[in-house]
Amino acid sequence: MAEEKENMVQSEDDDGKSVTMTSTTTWPSSDFDSNYESDYKVIETEKTDIEIFGTDEQRIKLFTDLSKYFGEVENPENTVVNTFFKAKYAPLNEVLNAIRPVLSKYGLTIIQIPTFDNTNCLVNTLMTHKDGAWISFPALKNKPTKLDIQGMGSAITYLRRFSLNAIAGVMGEVDDDGNTAADDSKPTKPTKKGEEKEVNEAYDACVEYIAKATTPAEKKERQTVAVNIIKKYVESGKPEELQLEDRKKVVSDIKKLG
């Protein structure tokens, strides 16, 4: 029911005398707030399950259009060279350029929401459909190399790109047939607890140093500097071939550059 409230307003008559005027305002029923809150959805950043929202009819329409999308979308072009792993990949903007037109054509939208839990950067990804159904995917998270805006921005960009490739059903990375993950013959494969941290630090230190470039020319120069530092310890200039102790030295040398 609507609720009426009396308002009192001080004013003056034509002779300058103070008078009190009253008026009644009709407010919406308090049921409005409770109804609104009952439809409110909270996105859990730590959830591990995929959730699908909507009526049966809405879900059918979502998956019908999603199947049409997958039949038409094409992989983005791998235009950027990863200097250290000697492989090409599609940057975030290329992935978005490839999938956005097809998503829009079939009434689909992907929303990515970055959060931070004081340790890790997290990216929640949602897929919505024009008829009301939507899918919530588990958050992907990673600890940034440095807890500053540049480090967090870099981590969020990586998380967005990796999540987007998987959820949008496209391939924006070179497929090495699992060799990087499965090759036990490499002497640099981490075998002890804590070694993985040094592996990531060496690579991330170089990436962060290069990312500070403000022009293409400076970026190229910084790439050359980073590769030359790695070559001090391994002839190929590939960080994945560095021994553990040499990785620590690379991190130290890169940090000295500022």
* Phi, psi for residue 29 in degrees, rounded to 5: -60, 150
Given pLDDT bands bounded at 50, 70 and 90, which one contains residue 16? low
Q: Kindly state the average pLDDT of the residues 67-75.
A: 93
Which has more confidence, 38 or 16?
16
Residues 114, 156: contact at Cβ < 8 Å?
yes
Residues 247, 199: contact at Cβ < 8 Å?
yes
Other Cβ atoms closer than 10 A to 256: 8
Q: Residue 116: which of 162, 92, 151 has the closest Cα?
A: 151
Whether residue 199 is predicted with pLDDT greater than 80 in this model: the reply is: no
For residue 68, the surrounding DSSP H or E stretch is: helix 56-72
How confident is the model at residue 41, as a pLDDT? 59
Of the spans 52-56, 137-141, 193-197, which averages the highest pLDDT?
A: 52-56
Q: Kindly state the average pLDDT of the residues 31-40.
A: 45
Q: What is the mean pLDDT of the chain?
A: 74
How confident is the model at residue 75, as a pLDDT? 85
Whether residue 93 is predicted with pLDDT greater than 60 in this model: the reply is: yes
256: helix, coil or strand?
A: helix
pTM above 0.85, yes or no: no
Which has more confidence, 138 or 186?
138
**Domain boundary assignment for the chain:** 3-37, 49-167, 192-257
Q: Kindly state the average pLDDT of the residues 248-255.
A: 84
pLDDT in tens, 220-231: 888 888 888 888
Whether residue 8 is predicted with pLDDT greater than 60 in this model: the reply is: no
> How many residues in the chain?
258
Residues 108, 70: contact at Cβ < 8 Å?
no
